[in-house]
Amino acid sequence: MIPLLTAVVIYGCLLTLLNLGFTLIYRVHDAPNFGQTALMGFGMLITLVLSKGFGFSPYLGFPLALLLGGGLGCLLYLSSIRPLVKRGASALRLSIAMLAHQIVLLGLLGILSWWLWKTSHGLLLYPGLAHRIWDTRITSLQSVFYDYRFCLKEVDHEICGVALVFPVALLLALGSTILLDWMFRRSDVGIALRAASENPELVMVVGLNPYRLQVLVWTLAGCLSTIAGALYPLWFCSSPTLTPLRFMNSLLAAGLLSGFGPPLSALITSFTVSVLELLIPGLLFHPLGVSWIGEYVPLIPIFIIAVILLRPRGLPVGEGG
């Protein structure tokens, strides 16, 4: 029971970090960032290389994960989102561009995973089952997809018998929530961000640069995603390419539940999704022995999304304040 509760808390904390970045970008562009989870894979690979490749503590990779995540977030914004925003692109076009981010980044992660597997001779990564993704009945054109997996639970440290990832994830989730909540409610940056999302032209008239504020938001969102990815392998079995895809449904469910409102609502709804996705199936599996429940766990966030979208009042966007 204790490992199950620990997994629920850690999962909720990591989902909170992702949801905070997801909400930040939505509040600025009024468009969901479907590429938010892709940056998790880079955080996973940083933790993997530092811990298993060089024998360092996995937590030493946090500064590098922050730098890489912030840099990638800034690069994605400057290379594709900012030109679209300047041309007055609609929310739909921005969403498609963000979905393209996910596709490109996951392809890059697949290449990096294959390279690490080959160069380390299987010491860092090992491929899961091979799945043929298409077959033309011509042998030379057959393609095989490898799911590279790893788990770093054994390299984590313990304090009083508790895995260090538990308090670290909890502190990061709570600290990020409090910091962003203060930033939005109290600081001039939060006021400017709200104004920039509502009327960018008016903000420029009064002397503020909304594009610099958007760079800040994308940088913060990138940092939050890579930190979540750096923590994930310390408790869960990870795949740099498939885990970000699986997380996207949970993230979208948490974001819709919160109505893309203030950071505190992102924290609450992330833990709500974590309880529904892990705790309830876990309780059904362990005491009752309902072994088939695990096959349907990925449907839980999809069910949450469907219920929210089918509400008579529509999406809860803006209800969170």
Amino acid 136: pLDDT = 54
- Distance CA(45)–CA(31), nearest Å, equals 28
Q: Which amino acid is at 41?
A: G
Amino acid 2: pLDDT = 78
Nearest CA to 184 out of 20, 29, 73 is that of 20
The neighbour count for residue 118, using CB atoms within 10 Å, is 10
Q: Specify the 3-state DSSP secondary structure of 34.
A: coil
Contact present, 31 and 94 (Cβ < 8 Å): yes
Q: 235-244 in b/e burial notation, b at 16+ Cβ within 10 A?
A: bbebbbbbbb
Amino acid 292: pLDDT = 65
Domain covering 2-309: architecture: Orthogonal Bundle (1.10)
Average pLDDT by consecutive 10-residue portion of the chain (321 residues)? 86 95 89 92 92 88 93 94 87 92 92 85 68 52 62 85 91 94 76 64 65 88 95 90 90 90 89 89 68 75 87 49 45
Query: pTM of the predicted model, to two decimals?
Result: 0.87
Amino acid 208: pLDDT = 66
